[in-house]
Amino acid sequence: MKNTIVNFFRVASLLVLLLAVALLSAIATMHFAIHGAEVQVPALKGMTIAQARSETAGLGLNLDVDHRYYSGDVAAGHILSQSPAPGTVVRREWNVRVAESLGQQLVDVPSTVGSDERIADLELRRAGLDVGAPAHLPDADAPEGTVLAQDPPPHALDIAQPSVSLLLAAPDDETPSGYVMPDLTGWLATTAIAAVEKVGIKVGPIQFVDVPIAPVGSGNAAPTLLIKPGAVIAQSPAAGSLVVQSTLVKLTVAR
């Protein structure tokens, strides 16, 4: 009887040990399955696209070139930025998005204002520029499809992307999808704000700056202000830019 009880406890202990080993093995397998499918995103900035593809493919990640920008600091064909950031832990098959450098801006932005849309499109593409989705503005004085404005403007320097947006003339009865930003410099701020808000575009907080005063002349003549207080001296977006109703206009006004 005593031997039977001892044998029972031996068998029970063995079963408990086997169960514990199986449980630990299952936990280890689950841990490997979960964490074995995770990798750290490598640092890709400065690499060529080919190098980055090789690096990410070796880790089971996908590389997507989302944007291309001009850069005076990073050579053409190399990576400017990435998302997620280096060191981020992600699952395999994750998409790593990068921006590719186009090098320094060497292309001259041609003037297309006054041209037909098709001619403007052809001229821009010949210059190596992309054409964004156009906006339309009713204009009784211009034939439908005529370019009224472009952004960036002709011969612009230090543009970010190789893309130009066009504002096209539309029939009078068409709802406008964009506007040409007027030159507001010299306008009284109240007049400028009223003109912009009349078409449904909002004006952000005004930045006031002190205006210079001309040197005092001889005699009792009062000093002359070079700029009238309350006048607009700077604006954003610049005159001639394409703006839509979601654009926030910023004005700098003389105090």
pLDDT at site 12? 64
224 vs 240: which has the higher pLDDT: 240
pLDDT at site 241? 79
Does the pLDDT at position 151 exceed 60? yes
pLDDT at site 21? 62
Domains of the chain plus CATH, in order, are 38-101 (3.30.10.20), 117-170 (3.30.10), 179-216+223-254 (3.30.10.20)
Strands (E), 113-176: 130-131, 135-138, 147-151, 163-170
State pLDDT tens for residues 100-133.
999 999 999 999 999 999 999 999 999 999 998 7
- Strand duo 202-203 + 147-151: pairing: unpaired
Mean pLDDT value across residues 172-180: 73
Does the pLDDT at position 6 exceed 90? no
The length of the chain is 255
Does the pLDDT at position 88 exceed 80? yes
Instruction: Kindly give, in sequence order, each residue whose CB lies less than 8 Å from that of residue 9, ignoring residues fewer than 6 positions away.
Output: none
State pLDDT tens for residues 178-203.
777 888 888 888 888 988 887 788 99
